[in-house]
Amino acid sequence: MNTKVLWIEDDYYNYQSLFRPLEQKGVIVDHALSASEGYKKAKKWKNYDLIVVDIILPLTKDSDQIDDEVYKWEKEDYLGIGLVKWLREDLKAKCPVVILSVIDDPVENYNLHNLQIEDNLSKRGLLPSTLADRIKPILNMA
Amino acid sequence: MQTLFHTIKRLIIFILPSILTAGLLVLFFILFPSNRLAISSTGTQQVTPTSSITTSNDPIQTIESVSKQAIDSSNRTLQVVQWSVSIFVLSLLGIATNLTTSFSSNLKEATRRLDEIGQKFEYVNQELEETHKELESIMNNYLNLQQDLIAIESQTLPFDLATKAYENGKIDKEKYIESQAWYSWQKWKFGGDETGYKELLVHKKALNGLPKSIIRSAIAELIEINEKINKAGMANDQDFKNRLKLLKVLNLPEA
């Protein structure tokens, strides 16, 4: 069975080349374009081998009904922070979680140490090969 | 429609000679009525000897007469069989001839069509080759244009082009990050996406300021909003909010 990654990223279509090397290795990348869509997809975390989360996310990208849970995340500086906390604290998701954002070191800046974040990558100046090198060990890929 | 026409044409080619052959055979029967009589008399001849027997008193003569009539009848029957066989063989020959003619005609038609298709294929191939050359030339021009754009020092690249250029090592990390910041600015300014504004502040902090292209664009935007605000009734709440955000982006005081 192929390795499946959920990438919650509003600029997915602009940054999708970042995952190209992993896709070439057979990794399937599913995406969510907003916090609301991410919430819906991440609820089925058992379907994924890894969840990659952007920190600066919009509430929604369409007119879909937004769950009350997602509104709760607005108390955080960024919706992505709320999403990651919900994933680990409320949903008790066991799959690895990686943060991929323009923010430098959100784990340190927003005190996310106790949430078992596997890796923390900055999108600024990130190369696809660098991302692949960091993600492969998490997915147990050679 | 054309296929239907061809089918009808083929049927006519095949059936018409058969009808003609059958017609000729009928004509043949009409021209030789003795044969036709031979066929029709075979049934009635069997009654005649019985009548002879009853009218003649000489048994030998009767036997002779009956035998003669029987031989005649057999001869006629044989003749009828011979004609039937001949007609059957002639019909077979006719059908065989028609089949051969039809097959040969179809083969000729098929060959002609194959030639036609071959010619068309060659034409399409030539056209395709020419289009391919034109496309290649356009692509080369586009690539050259991109190269020129990348080479301009002060130019902020469109994000998709910058991503490709950065991956291929054509631009450095600094120029790529600048392009990322420009993309965030566009997201907010032209797309009205608040995440663009938040990203812009992160870029500003990380870059210790924003690229000149963004500062210039932000100043122009601020001047436009200020003009709107200064004209009574022109500005709305969103304009005021945007003004505050622009001031924050540009590190300018609110007053």
Shared domain check, B242 and B196: yes
Secondary structure (3-state) at A119: strand
Residue of chain B minimizing CA distance to A58: B195
Check B206 against A124: CB less than 8 A apart.
yes
What does the pLDDT read at residue A79?
Answer: 95
More confident residue, A120 or B43: A120
B251/A7: higher pLDDT: A7
Interface check B194 vs A, CB under 8 A: yes
Task: Say if residue B87 is in the same domain as residue B196.
Answer: no
User: Which chain B residues are within 8 Å of A57, Cβ to Cβ?
Assistant: 195
Across the interface, whether the CB atoms of B195 and A103 are under 8 A apart is answered no
Residue B99 CB contacts under 8 Å (≥ 6 apart), including other chains = B14
* Per-residue model confidence (pLDDT) at position A118: 94
Candidate from A104, A127, A128 with C-beta closest to B206: A104
Q: Tell me the two tokens of residue B39.
A: 């066929």
Least confident of A51-55, A82-86, A100-104: A100-104
Query: What range does the domain containing B182 cover?
Result: 159-249
Q: Tell me how close the Cα of A16 comes to any Cα of chain B, in angstroms.
A: 10
Going by the DSSP 8-state scheme, the letter that residue B83 receives in this structure is H
Neighbours of A136 (CB within 10 A): 15
> Are B198 and A56 inside 8 Å of each other by CB?
yes
pLDDT computed for residue B41 by the predictor: 46
Residue A24 placed within a domain: yes
Within-domain flag for B61: no
How far is Cα of residue A129 from the mean position of the Cα atoms in its chain?
18
**Residue A100 forms part of a structural domain:** yes
Print the domain residue range for A74: 4-135
A142 is a domain residue: no
Give the CATH number, domain containing residue A126. Answer: 3.40.50.2300
Residue B53: the pLDDT is 47
How far is CA A62 from each of CA A32, A65, A80, rounded to the nearest angstrom?
12, 9, 18
The partner residue sitting opposite B202, judged by closest CB among A14, A17, A103, is A103
The answer to whether the beta carbons of residues A78 and A53 sit under 8 Å apart is no
Which positions of chain B have pLDDT values less than 70?
Answer: 1-23, 25-57, 150-155, 255
Burial classification of residue B155, based on how many CB atoms lie within 10 Å of its CB (0-12 exposed, 13-18 middle, 19 or more buried) = middle
Q: What part of B 203-232 touches A (C-beta under 8 Å)?
A: 203, 206
Element (H, E) at A116: none
Q: How many domains does chain B have?
A: 2
What pLDDT shows up at residue B161? 83
In this prediction, residue B196 carries a pLDDT of: 94
Between the CA of residue B91 and those of B19, B88, B229, B251, what are the distances in Å?
Answer: 10, 5, 104, 107
Residue B241 CB contacts under 8 Å (≥ 6 apart), including other chains: none
ipTM entry: 0.85
What is the number of domains present in chain A? 1
User: Rounded mean pLDDT of chain A?
Assistant: 92
What is the pTM for the complete model shown? 0.62
